[in-house]
Structure 1
Protein backbone atom coordinates (compact mmCIF):
# COMPACT_ATOMS: atom_id res chain seq x y z
CA UNK A 1 0.00 0.00 0.00
CA UNK A 2 2.87 2.34 0.78
CA UNK A 3 4.35 1.70 -2.65
CA UNK A 4 1.00 2.47 -4.30
CA UNK A 5 0.67 5.65 -2.28
CA UNK A 6 4.23 6.51 -3.26
CA UNK A 7 3.46 6.00 -6.94
CA UNK A 8 0.36 8.16 -6.71
CA UNK A 9 2.21 10.74 -4.65
CA UNK A 10 4.91 10.93 -7.27
CA UNK A 11 2.37 11.26 -10.06
CA UNK A 12 0.43 14.00 -8.32
CA UNK A 13 3.59 15.80 -7.25
CA UNK A 14 4.94 15.63 -10.79
CA UNK A 15 1.71 17.10 -12.12
CA UNK A 16 1.82 19.82 -9.50
CA UNK A 17 5.44 20.60 -10.23
CA UNK A 18 4.75 20.77 -13.93
CA UNK A 19 2.04 23.30 -13.23
CA UNK A 20 4.24 25.24 -10.80
CA UNK A 21 6.92 26.13 -13.35
CA UNK A 22 4.67 28.21 -15.63
CA UNK A 23 3.03 29.80 -12.59
CA UNK A 24 6.46 30.68 -11.21
CA UNK A 25 7.48 32.24 -14.51
CA UNK A 26 4.33 34.33 -14.74
CA UNK A 27 4.33 35.26 -11.03
CA UNK A 28 0.56 34.99 -10.89
CA UNK A 29 -1.74 32.47 -9.34
CA UNK A 30 -3.69 30.30 -11.75
CA UNK A 31 -7.43 30.36 -11.38
CA UNK A 32 -8.75 27.28 -9.61
CA UNK A 33 -10.70 24.90 -11.82
CA UNK A 34 -14.41 25.54 -11.73
CA UNK A 35 -16.36 22.81 -10.01
CA UNK A 36 -20.09 22.59 -9.55
CA UNK A 37 -21.05 23.71 -6.05
CA UNK A 38 -22.41 20.92 -3.89
CA UNK A 39 -24.20 20.71 -0.58
CA UNK A 40 -22.16 20.74 2.62
CA UNK A 41 -23.44 17.22 3.36
CA UNK A 42 -22.22 15.93 -0.03
CA UNK A 43 -18.82 17.52 0.55
CA UNK A 44 -18.74 15.97 4.03
CA UNK A 45 -19.44 12.50 2.61
CA UNK A 46 -16.81 13.05 -0.07
CA UNK A 47 -14.25 14.02 2.59
CA UNK A 48 -15.13 10.91 4.57
CA UNK A 49 -14.60 8.71 1.51
CA UNK A 50 -11.26 10.38 0.74
CA UNK A 51 -10.17 9.90 4.36
CA UNK A 52 -11.10 6.21 4.25
CA UNK A 53 -9.04 5.89 1.07
CA UNK A 54 -6.11 7.69 2.77
CA UNK A 55 -5.89 10.04 -0.19
CA UNK A 56 -4.10 12.71 1.86
CA UNK A 57 -0.97 10.57 1.78
CA UNK A 58 -0.79 11.18 -1.98
CA UNK A 59 -0.32 14.92 -1.61
CA UNK A 60 1.18 15.22 1.87
CA UNK A 61 4.55 16.30 0.46
CA UNK A 62 3.18 18.66 -2.19
CA UNK A 63 4.19 21.93 -0.52
CA UNK A 64 7.78 20.99 0.31
CA UNK A 65 8.12 19.29 -3.07
CA UNK A 66 6.98 22.35 -5.00
CA UNK A 67 9.14 24.64 -2.85
CA UNK A 68 12.17 22.43 -3.54
CA UNK A 69 11.41 22.20 -7.26
CA UNK A 70 11.02 25.99 -7.47
CA UNK A 71 14.30 26.51 -5.58
CA UNK A 72 16.07 24.09 -7.90
CA UNK A 73 14.74 25.93 -10.94
CA UNK A 74 15.89 29.26 -9.54
CA UNK A 75 19.31 27.81 -8.69
CA UNK A 76 19.78 26.91 -12.35
CA UNK A 77 19.32 30.58 -13.22
CA UNK A 78 21.03 32.12 -10.19
CA UNK A 79 23.92 29.88 -9.17
CA UNK A 80 25.48 32.59 -7.00
CA UNK A 81 22.42 32.74 -4.75
CA UNK A 82 22.43 29.15 -3.47
CA UNK A 83 22.85 30.06 0.21
CA UNK A 84 20.13 32.71 0.00
CA UNK A 85 17.76 30.46 -1.94
CA UNK A 86 18.28 27.65 0.59
CA UNK A 87 17.36 30.03 3.40
CA UNK A 88 14.40 31.49 1.51
CA UNK A 89 13.12 27.98 0.73
CA UNK A 90 12.76 27.32 4.48
CA UNK A 91 10.85 30.59 4.93
CA UNK A 92 8.57 29.92 1.95
CA UNK A 93 7.92 26.33 3.07
CA UNK A 94 6.97 27.52 6.58
CA UNK A 95 4.75 30.28 5.16
CA UNK A 96 2.88 27.74 3.04
CA UNK A 97 2.77 24.83 5.49
CA UNK A 98 -0.65 23.23 5.43
CA UNK A 99 -1.63 24.56 2.02
CA UNK A 100 -1.68 20.99 0.70
CA UNK A 101 -5.03 20.66 2.51
CA UNK A 102 -6.43 22.80 -0.32
CA UNK A 103 -5.88 19.78 -2.56
CA UNK A 104 -8.08 17.67 -0.29
CA UNK A 105 -10.76 20.35 -0.27
CA UNK A 106 -10.67 20.53 -4.06
CA UNK A 107 -10.82 16.77 -4.39
CA UNK A 108 -13.83 16.64 -2.07
CA UNK A 109 -15.55 19.29 -4.21
CA UNK A 110 -14.82 17.25 -7.33
CA UNK A 111 -16.17 14.04 -5.80
CA UNK A 112 -19.25 15.91 -4.58
CA UNK A 113 -19.83 17.29 -8.08
CA UNK A 114 -19.48 13.86 -9.70
CA UNK A 115 -21.77 11.96 -7.31
CA UNK A 116 -25.11 12.88 -5.79
CA UNK A 117 -25.35 13.33 -2.05
CA UNK A 118 -27.20 10.01 -1.78
CA UNK A 119 -24.57 8.21 -3.89
CA UNK A 120 -21.82 9.56 -1.65
CA UNK A 121 -23.75 8.48 1.44
CA UNK A 122 -24.19 5.00 -0.08
CA UNK A 123 -20.47 4.86 -0.86
CA UNK A 124 -19.61 5.71 2.74
CA UNK A 125 -21.89 2.87 3.90
CA UNK A 126 -20.28 0.54 1.34
CA UNK A 127 -16.71 1.42 2.35
CA UNK A 128 -17.62 0.73 5.98
CA UNK A 129 -18.99 -2.72 5.05
CA UNK A 130 -16.72 -5.81 5.14
CA UNK A 131 -16.47 -5.86 1.33
CA UNK A 132 -15.76 -2.14 1.25
CA UNK A 133 -13.03 -2.57 3.86
CA UNK A 134 -11.54 -5.40 1.82
CA UNK A 135 -11.58 -3.18 -1.25
CA UNK A 136 -9.86 -0.35 0.63
CA UNK A 137 -7.19 -2.73 1.91
CA UNK A 138 -6.68 -4.86 -1.23
CA UNK A 139 -7.13 -2.42 -4.09
CA UNK A 140 -3.75 -0.67 -3.71
CA UNK A 141 -1.97 -4.03 -3.89
CA UNK A 142 -4.06 -5.12 -6.88
CA UNK A 143 -3.34 -1.85 -8.70
CA UNK A 144 0.37 -2.05 -7.90
CA UNK A 145 0.58 -5.64 -9.12
CA UNK A 146 -1.39 -4.67 -12.23
CA UNK A 147 1.08 -1.86 -12.96
CA UNK A 148 3.98 -4.30 -12.53
CA UNK A 149 2.27 -6.78 -14.86
CA UNK A 150 1.75 -4.06 -17.48
CA UNK A 151 5.44 -3.12 -17.29
CA UNK A 152 6.54 -6.75 -17.70
CA UNK A 153 4.11 -7.26 -20.56
CA UNK A 154 5.35 -4.11 -22.30
CA UNK A 155 8.96 -5.25 -22.00
CA UNK A 156 8.17 -8.68 -23.45
CA UNK A 157 6.01 -7.21 -26.18
CA UNK A 158 8.76 -4.72 -27.00
CA UNK A 159 11.12 -7.62 -27.71
CA UNK A 160 8.54 -9.12 -30.09
CA UNK A 161 8.01 -5.80 -31.87
CA UNK A 162 11.77 -5.23 -32.17
CA UNK A 163 12.10 -8.70 -33.71
CA UNK A 164 9.36 -7.88 -36.21
CA UNK A 165 11.11 -4.63 -37.13
CA UNK A 166 14.38 -6.51 -37.69
CA UNK A 167 12.64 -9.15 -39.83
CA UNK A 168 10.87 -6.55 -41.99
CA UNK A 169 14.06 -4.52 -42.41
CA UNK A 170 15.98 -7.70 -43.35
CA UNK A 171 13.42 -8.32 -46.09
CA UNK A 172 14.43 -4.90 -47.43
CA UNK A 173 18.08 -5.89 -47.31
CA UNK A 174 18.90 -3.77 -44.29
CA UNK A 175 20.24 -5.39 -41.14
CA UNK A 176 19.47 -3.51 -37.98
Structure 2
Protein backbone atom coordinates (compact mmCIF):
# COMPACT_ATOMS: atom_id res chain seq x y z
CA UNK A 1 0.00 0.00 0.00
CA UNK A 2 2.92 2.33 0.73
CA UNK A 3 4.10 1.83 -2.82
CA UNK A 4 0.70 2.78 -4.23
CA UNK A 5 0.65 5.94 -2.08
CA UNK A 6 4.10 6.89 -3.30
CA UNK A 7 3.13 6.28 -6.91
CA UNK A 8 -0.11 8.22 -6.53
CA UNK A 9 1.76 11.10 -4.87
CA UNK A 10 4.41 11.10 -7.57
CA UNK A 11 1.78 11.00 -10.28
CA UNK A 12 -0.12 13.88 -8.74
CA UNK A 13 3.11 15.86 -8.44
CA UNK A 14 4.02 15.10 -12.06
CA UNK A 15 0.60 16.22 -13.24
CA UNK A 16 0.84 19.36 -11.13
CA UNK A 17 4.25 20.18 -12.55
CA UNK A 18 3.03 19.60 -16.05
CA UNK A 19 0.15 21.95 -15.53
CA UNK A 20 2.36 24.52 -13.85
CA UNK A 21 4.69 24.52 -16.83
CA UNK A 22 1.95 25.82 -19.07
CA UNK A 23 2.18 29.44 -20.13
CA UNK A 24 0.26 31.46 -17.60
CA UNK A 25 0.07 34.95 -16.27
CA UNK A 26 2.19 35.84 -13.27
CA UNK A 27 1.04 34.08 -10.13
CA UNK A 28 -0.17 36.05 -7.17
CA UNK A 29 1.79 35.74 -3.92
CA UNK A 30 -1.35 34.88 -1.98
CA UNK A 31 -2.72 32.25 -4.33
CA UNK A 32 -5.74 30.45 -2.91
CA UNK A 33 -5.19 26.87 -1.75
CA UNK A 34 -6.21 24.17 -4.22
CA UNK A 35 -9.06 23.08 -1.92
CA UNK A 36 -10.77 26.46 -2.15
CA UNK A 37 -14.11 25.93 -3.90
CA UNK A 38 -14.52 27.80 -7.14
CA UNK A 39 -17.45 30.13 -7.59
CA UNK A 40 -20.00 29.14 -10.23
CA UNK A 41 -19.40 30.67 -13.63
CA UNK A 42 -21.88 31.57 -16.31
CA UNK A 43 -22.18 29.20 -19.27
CA UNK A 44 -20.87 31.98 -21.53
CA UNK A 45 -17.79 32.48 -19.32
CA UNK A 46 -17.08 28.73 -19.29
CA UNK A 47 -17.54 28.56 -23.05
CA UNK A 48 -15.10 31.43 -23.57
CA UNK A 49 -12.61 29.86 -21.16
CA UNK A 50 -12.85 26.53 -23.01
CA UNK A 51 -12.38 28.37 -26.29
CA UNK A 52 -9.20 30.00 -24.95
CA UNK A 53 -7.88 26.68 -23.67
CA UNK A 54 -8.59 25.08 -27.04
CA UNK A 55 -6.73 27.85 -28.86
CA UNK A 56 -3.80 27.42 -26.45
CA UNK A 57 -3.89 23.64 -27.03
CA UNK A 58 -4.00 23.10 -23.28
CA UNK A 59 -5.32 19.57 -23.74
CA UNK A 60 -1.87 18.52 -24.92
CA UNK A 61 -0.64 19.01 -21.34
CA UNK A 62 -2.93 16.39 -19.89
CA UNK A 63 -3.89 14.25 -22.88
CA UNK A 64 -1.87 11.28 -21.62
CA UNK A 65 -2.66 11.74 -17.93
CA UNK A 66 -4.84 8.62 -17.60
CA UNK A 67 -2.54 6.17 -19.42
CA UNK A 68 0.51 7.62 -17.66
CA UNK A 69 -1.08 7.34 -14.21
CA UNK A 70 -2.27 3.80 -14.96
CA UNK A 71 1.25 2.82 -16.07
CA UNK A 72 2.88 4.48 -13.05
CA UNK A 73 0.47 2.78 -10.67
CA UNK A 74 0.96 -0.59 -12.36
CA UNK A 75 4.75 -0.24 -12.22
CA UNK A 76 4.63 0.72 -8.55
CA UNK A 77 2.45 -2.27 -7.74
CA UNK A 78 4.72 -4.59 -9.72
CA UNK A 79 7.72 -3.51 -7.62
CA UNK A 80 6.12 -5.04 -4.52
CA UNK A 81 4.23 -7.83 -6.31
CA UNK A 82 6.57 -9.30 -8.92
CA UNK A 83 4.66 -12.57 -8.96
CA UNK A 84 1.55 -10.67 -10.18
CA UNK A 85 3.21 -8.93 -13.12
CA UNK A 86 1.19 -10.74 -15.80
CA UNK A 87 -2.06 -10.06 -13.96
CA UNK A 88 -1.17 -6.42 -13.32
CA UNK A 89 -0.32 -5.97 -17.02
CA UNK A 90 -3.76 -7.34 -17.94
CA UNK A 91 -5.53 -5.30 -15.25
CA UNK A 92 -3.77 -2.13 -16.46
CA UNK A 93 -5.47 -2.51 -19.84
CA UNK A 94 -8.87 -2.95 -18.16
CA UNK A 95 -8.36 0.00 -15.81
CA UNK A 96 -7.13 2.23 -18.65
CA UNK A 97 -10.28 1.41 -20.66
CA UNK A 98 -12.53 2.01 -17.63
CA UNK A 99 -10.97 5.39 -16.92
CA UNK A 100 -10.44 6.57 -20.50
CA UNK A 101 -11.66 10.12 -21.01
CA UNK A 102 -11.33 11.15 -17.38
CA UNK A 103 -8.52 13.55 -18.33
CA UNK A 104 -11.29 15.81 -19.62
CA UNK A 105 -11.96 16.59 -15.95
CA UNK A 106 -8.70 18.53 -15.97
CA UNK A 107 -9.83 20.63 -18.93
CA UNK A 108 -13.18 21.33 -17.30
CA UNK A 109 -11.45 22.37 -14.09
CA UNK A 110 -9.04 24.60 -15.99
CA UNK A 111 -11.97 26.32 -17.70
CA UNK A 112 -13.62 26.83 -14.31
CA UNK A 113 -10.37 28.29 -12.94
CA UNK A 114 -10.08 30.69 -15.88
CA UNK A 115 -13.73 31.69 -15.35
CA UNK A 116 -12.89 32.45 -11.72
CA UNK A 117 -9.81 34.48 -12.57
CA UNK A 118 -11.35 36.54 -15.37
CA UNK A 119 -14.71 38.18 -15.83
CA UNK A 120 -16.97 36.96 -18.60
CA UNK A 121 -16.18 40.08 -20.60
CA UNK A 122 -12.43 39.66 -20.09
CA UNK A 123 -12.67 36.08 -21.34
CA UNK A 124 -14.61 37.22 -24.41
CA UNK A 125 -12.00 39.93 -25.01
CA UNK A 126 -9.24 37.32 -24.74
CA UNK A 127 -11.00 35.13 -27.29
CA UNK A 128 -11.22 38.13 -29.62
CA UNK A 129 -7.54 38.90 -29.03
CA UNK A 130 -6.40 35.32 -29.68
CA UNK A 131 -8.39 35.33 -32.91
CA UNK A 132 -6.69 38.57 -34.03
CA UNK A 133 -3.49 38.42 -36.11
CA UNK A 134 -1.35 39.40 -33.11
CA UNK A 135 -3.10 36.91 -30.84
CA UNK A 136 -2.69 34.16 -33.42
CA UNK A 137 1.00 35.03 -33.69
CA UNK A 138 1.33 34.88 -29.91
CA UNK A 139 -0.31 31.45 -29.83
CA UNK A 140 1.97 30.23 -32.61
CA UNK A 141 5.26 31.68 -31.36
CA UNK A 142 4.91 31.64 -27.57
CA UNK A 143 5.84 27.95 -27.14
CA UNK A 144 9.05 28.50 -29.10
CA UNK A 145 9.83 31.73 -27.21
CA UNK A 146 9.32 29.90 -23.92
CA UNK A 147 11.51 27.02 -25.11
CA UNK A 148 14.31 29.41 -26.08
CA UNK A 149 13.90 31.30 -22.81
CA UNK A 150 14.18 28.08 -20.80
CA UNK A 151 17.23 27.05 -22.81
CA UNK A 152 18.85 30.43 -22.16
CA UNK A 153 18.04 30.24 -18.44
CA UNK A 154 19.59 26.75 -18.22
CA UNK A 155 22.72 27.88 -20.06
CA UNK A 156 22.96 31.03 -17.93
CA UNK A 157 22.46 28.96 -14.76
CA UNK A 158 25.29 26.61 -15.68
CA UNK A 159 27.64 29.48 -16.45
CA UNK A 160 26.62 31.43 -13.35
CA UNK A 161 27.09 28.31 -11.20
CA UNK A 162 30.75 28.37 -12.23
CA UNK A 163 30.95 32.02 -11.10
CA UNK A 164 29.36 31.16 -7.76
CA UNK A 165 31.71 28.18 -7.35
CA UNK A 166 34.73 30.43 -8.04
CA UNK A 167 33.49 32.96 -5.50
CA UNK A 168 33.10 30.24 -2.84
CA UNK A 169 36.57 28.89 -3.56
CA UNK A 170 38.12 32.38 -3.41
CA UNK A 171 36.47 33.16 -0.07
CA UNK A 172 37.47 29.80 1.38
CA UNK A 173 41.05 30.35 0.15
CA UNK A 174 41.10 33.69 2.01
CA UNK A 175 40.25 31.73 5.15
CA UNK A 176 43.14 29.37 4.53
CA UNK A 177 40.83 26.51 3.60
CA UNK A 178 41.25 25.87 -0.12
CA UNK A 179 38.64 23.58 -1.60
Q: TM-score, normalised by structure 1?
A: 0.82
Q: Which runs of 5+ in 2 are unaligned?
A: 1-10, 18-33
SS in 2 for 1:158: helix
SS of the equivalent of 1:37 reads: coil
Question: Which residue of structure 2 aligns with residue 15 of structure 1?
Answer: 15
Q: Indicate if the aligned counterparts of 1:13 and 1:62 stay in contact, CA closer than 8 A.
A: no
Tell me, yes or no, if structure 1 residue 77 matches structure 2 residue 80.
yes
5+ long unaligned stretches in structure 1 = 1-10, 18-30
Say whether residues 1:105 and 2:108 are aligned partners. Answer: yes
**Aligned residue in 1 for 2:151:** 148
Are 2:67 and 1:64 aligned?
A: yes
CA-based RMSD: 2.0
Which runs of 4 or more aligned residues in structure 1 lie more than 4 Å from their structure 2 counterparts after TM superposition? none
How high is the TM-score relative to the length of structure 2? 0.81
CA shift in 2, pair 1:12/1:141, >3 Å: farther
Write the distance in 2 (CA, Å) between the matches of 1:163 and 1:134: 43
In terms of fraction of residues, the more helix-rich structure is 1
Moved more, 154-163 or 166-175: 166-175
Q: Which residue, 165, 168, 171 being the options, matches 2:168? A: 165
In structure 2, the residue matched to 1:27 is none
Distance 2:174 2:121 in 1: 63
Deviation of 1:172 (Å): 1.6
How far is 1:80 from its partner?
Answer: 1.4
Higher RCO (C-alpha 8 Å, min separation 6): 1
